[in-house]
A and B are shown apart, each in its own frame.
Chain A
Amino acid sequence: MLKPETMFEKVWAAHQVVPETADTPAIIFIDLHLTHEVTSPQAYSVLRERGLKLRRPDLTIATMDHATPTRTSQVFGGAPITIDSAANQIRQLEKNCAEFGVELLGLQDARRGIVHIIGPELGITQPGKTIVCGDSHTSTHGAFGALAFGIGTTEVGHVMATQCLLQNKAKTLAIEVKGKLNIGVTPKDLILAIIGQLGVSGGTGYVIEYRGEAIRAMTMEQRMTICNMSIEAGARAGMIAPDDTTFTYLRGRPRAPKGANWDAAVKYWRTLPTDSGAIFDKTIEIDATSLVPMITYGTNPGMVVPINGNIPDHSGDPVFDAAMQYMGLTPGQAIKNTLINVVFIGSCTNGRLSDLRAAANVLKGHQVAKGVTLLVVPGSQEVKREAETEGLDQIFIAAGADWRESGCSMCLGMNGDTVAKGQYSVSTSNRNFEGRQGVGARTLLASPETAAASAIRGCVTDPREFF
């Protein structure tokens, strides 16, 4: 019998163009290259300077998400894009895609959205593929059993020119999630708890495979939330074995295989999960049953506490002290009831339809607290349309929220949607770094349910109070 292999090892082996040698890393073939306006312009410049073409435009797709405006008037005409350099970047991407023959889901395209949301929606994110993008949250696509990771702009150029990357093989880390999540505890809470346990550098050098009962029970959208934040633990990628949940999600998507190709694909996809007896370099166990809703209190995603807990006291640790000073919070204080100014529901972590449904479910029949701004930004135009079909937009608007076109928006504050200095924001995104949502902005990361409950009360609130 062949040596049992992990899913990562299988996908890796299937894409090795040239194996690693003592002097050179392996050359790995890339099945899907996702691109966007922010990390591609300099790569196109390199191609131009060297007189190169895209090797496989058919395996490349472009969208606009990071710097794009989310106000309808700016997206669909009427008002100009307020940030000149962002408008320039968008025009540059249009020009580059036209010149190099790349399919572009442009500003007004009905399929546009955050790059990590539209890949799965279109059905181009598939098990067993190698997927890269000049964006660290490419790890999201690993939820399908793909090997998906973020790269820098130089590597974006490498993939454009050769459809390959030079890569050293990562180590493997299994995260076994035992038991089921309790009611009111979401995948976002689970991944925050995992990062809290592993630390923000604990996954460095690894590809994580999430396993266990709680993971198997999740929908694809929930699995994407988990894999999305793998990078926040320092990991290169996160993966989840494909199963019937995966195939049901993909079946009938615009670019999923059809007919006999579909059958062949599913047959192949079923060979991908880790063989029993395969050895991971490291294994960690998490008990899902003990988890409660989680929220961050500091300036990295590992600084996280249960929502009904207290901020720890690590006074004297310079990182902790700096975080407390930046956040304006006191060691030992309860995180609950901390007054907030802004709530952001969206991003590639929690900007999908089920996230909006969860938030709307809490908000229904309530009003956003006085003085609090609630911004709801769907992850894609498709999510927006579906939400509007279900009437979720009406629930948000009735509650006093601002309902927008899709994009990254306040997740990284590149498009002008920012949190003011010193203000507190409960955000469903993935990074609470200093200044991430705006200069001096104070971000608390949480689930859509927690974000919605906090918007109603105007302070950090346990969403289970609304169930």
Chain B
Amino acid sequence: MKPIKIFTSRTVVMASTNIDTDQIIPGRFLTTTTKEGLGKQLFSDWRYNASGELNADFILNQPGSQGCRILVAGHNLGCGSSREHAPWALLDYGFLAVISTQIADIFRNNSLKNGLLPIVVDIKTHQWLIANPGAEIEVDLCSSSLKLPTGISVQFPIDSFPRYCLLNGVDELGFLLSKNPAISKFEEQSNIPLHNT
């Protein structure tokens, strides 16, 4: 995973609330056994029409959306299925961050673990972002803040551990593996009837 520190990009706005992970990537594409190439199927049912051509009305297909790395979505982004294919598809397509007023638990977790920054903002900032699609935003993970083109800076919440991992490109598995002695001790000492096969 590449470290994330600071980046600037224009936004794409998809204002619908409750965009679920079935929309981000439909179930029929989950028969893959790798993470690569899922960007092609991102938002597939909205992005393509029945004959498989790009649907010109869909926001990602419009000229202004090309090259945008930040997705601004409505409240409760990423609800539903736990499929990690959703952040994989967003990253493979080229997104680096998603912004909403609420991001579903599992999707947020999955995003953090892959270097897709899930950013939760207050309603006022969100309204501004929705009203100004294509705005050039600076995301600074060092200071956990967004800078809007108006000059206003907005802090966003992020737990210190995933933030540390993202800033340094550290993966959490390495950290967990380093706790091996504590895990072994737990296994020896725990008196819960752990497994009864």
Interface residues of A (CB under 8 A from B): 14-15, 17-18, 22-25, 27, 29, 31-32, 38-39, 41-42, 45-46, 50, 52, 55, 58-59, 66-67, 83, 85-86, 88-89, 92, 124, 126, 128, 134-136, 150-155, 157-158, 161-164, 166, 168, 200-201, 204-205, 231, 234, 236, 255-258, 261, 264-265, 268, 300, 318-319, 322, 412-414, 421, 431, 433-436, 439-440
**B interface, size bucket:** 35 or more
Q: Which residues of B have CB within 8 Å of A421?
A: 50
Contacting pair B176 A89 (CB below 8 A): no
Q: What are 6 A-B contacts with C-beta separation under 8 Å? A: A29-B187, A136-B82, A152-B106, A154-B84, A154-B113, A435-B22
CB neighbours (8 Å) of B161 from chain A are 23-25, 166
Q: Does B150 contact A (CB under 8 A)?
A: no
CB–CB A319/B17 < 8 A: yes
B34 touches A45 (CB 8 A): yes
Contact of B75 among A42, A201, A264, A435 (CB under 8 A): A201
Stretch from B3-11, B60-68, B189-197 forming part of the interface with A: B189-197
Nearest CB of chain A from residue B170's CB, rounded to whole Å: 12
The residue of chain A having its C-beta at the shortest distance from the C-beta of B176 within the complex is: A162
B20 within 8 A of A: yes
| Distance in angstroms between the alpha carbons of A66 and B20 in the assembled complex | 18
Residues of A within 8 A of B176 (CB): 27, 158, 161-162, 164, 166
Q: Which residues of A contact B155 (CB under 8 A)?
A: none
- CB-based contact A164/B179 at 8 Å: yes
Residues of A within 8 A of B32 (CB): 41, 85, 89
Bitwise interface map of B from 163 to 195 toward A, beta carbon under 8 Å scored 1, else 0: 010000000110111011011001100101111
With both chains docked as a complex, state the minimum distance between the C-beta of A34 and any C-beta of chain B, in angstroms: 12
Considering the chains assembled together, what is the distance between the CA atoms of A67 and B30 in angstroms? 9
User: Which chain A residues lie closer than 8 Å to B195 at the CB level?
Assistant: 31-32, 58-59
Chain B 21-55 interface mask (CB, 8 Å, partner A; 1/0) = 01100111011111100000000010000100000
Verify B22–A434 contact, CB threshold 8 A: yes
- Per the bound structure, the CA–CA distance linking A17 and B83 in Å amounts to 27
B57 at the A/B interface (Cβ < 8 Å)?
Answer: no
Residues of A within 8 A of B113 (CB): 152, 154-155
Query: Contacts of B192 on A, CB cut-off 8 Å?
Result: 14-15, 31, 128, 268
On whether the beta carbons of B79 and A155 are closer than 8 Å, the reply is no
Contact A163 B183 (CB under 8 A): yes
Contact B76 A434 (CB under 8 A): no
A23 pairs with B160, CB closer than 8 A: yes
- Cβ-based interface call for B134 (8 A): no
Distance between Cα atoms of A205 and B26 in the complex (Å) = 25
CA gap between A257 and B182 in the complex, in Å: 27
Please give, as numbers and ranges, the residues of chain B lying within 8 Å of A52 by CB-CB distance: 177
Q: Which chain B positions have C-beta within 8 A of A161? A: 173, 176-177
Q: B81 on the interface (CB 8 Å rule)?
A: yes
**Cβ-based interface call for B133 (8 A):** no
Do A66 and B30 form a contact, CB below 8 Å, given A158-B172, A161-B177, A319-B16?
Answer: yes
Shortest distance between the CB of A260 and any CB in chain B (Å): 11
Q: Given A27-B182, A158-B176, A434-B45 in contact, is the A38-B31 Cβ separation under 8 Å? A: yes
Chain B contacts of A25 at CB under 8 A?
159, 161
Query: A435 to B193, Cβ gap below 8 A?
Result: no
Closest CB in chain B relative to A246 CB, distance in Å: 15
A31 touches B182 (CB 8 A): no
**Interchain nearest-CB distance for A302 vs B (Å):** 8
Cα A55 to Cα B187 in complex, Å, equals 11
On whether the beta carbons of A88 and B27 are closer than 8 Å, the reply is: no
Q: Does B148 contact A (CB under 8 A)?
A: no
Q: Is B122 an interface residue (CB 8 A)?
A: no
Query: A154: which of B30, B34, B81, B114 is its contact (CB, 8 Å)?
Result: B114
- Min CB distance B176 to A, Å, is 5
> Which of A126, A151, A164 is close to B196, meaning CB atoms less than 8 Å apart?
A126
Contact of B34 among A31, A42, A67, A83 (CB under 8 A): A42
Given A29-B186, A201-B75, A264-B193, answer yes or no on A39-B179 (Cβ-Cβ < 8 Å). Answer: no
Q: Is the CB of A134 within 8 A of B23?
A: no
Contact B20 A433 (CB under 8 A): yes
Check B145 for interface membership: any CB of A closer than 8 A. Answer: no
Q: How far is the CA of A439 from the CA of B20 in the complex (A)?
A: 15
Q: In the bound complex, how far is the Cα of B176 from the Cα of A459, in angstroms?
A: 53
Collect the chain A residues with CB atoms within 8 Å of residue B105's CB.
Answer: 204-205, 234, 236
Q: Add 10 more A-B contacts to A152-B110, A163-B183 (CB < 8 A).
A: A18-B179, A18-B182, A150-B106, A154-B113, A162-B176, A204-B105, A236-B105, A257-B193, A413-B27, A435-B23
A236 to B82, CA, bound (A): 11
Complex partner residue of B197 from A55, A255, A435, CB under 8 angstroms: A255
What residues of B have a CB within 8 angstroms of the CB of A66 in the complex? 30
Q: Which of A151, A166, A168, A433 contacts B82 (CB 8 A)?
A: A151
What 0/1 pattern do residues 70 to 103 of B give for CB contact below 8 A with A? 0000111001111110010000000000000010
Question: Which residue of A38, A66, A158, A166 has the most chain B CB atoms within 10 A of its CB atom?
Answer: A166
Cβ of B98 to closest chain A Cβ, rounded Å: 15
Whether the pair B31, A86 counts as a contact (CB closer than 8 A) is yes
Contact B80 A136 (CB under 8 A): yes
- Report how far A285 CA is from B102 CA in the complex, Å: 24
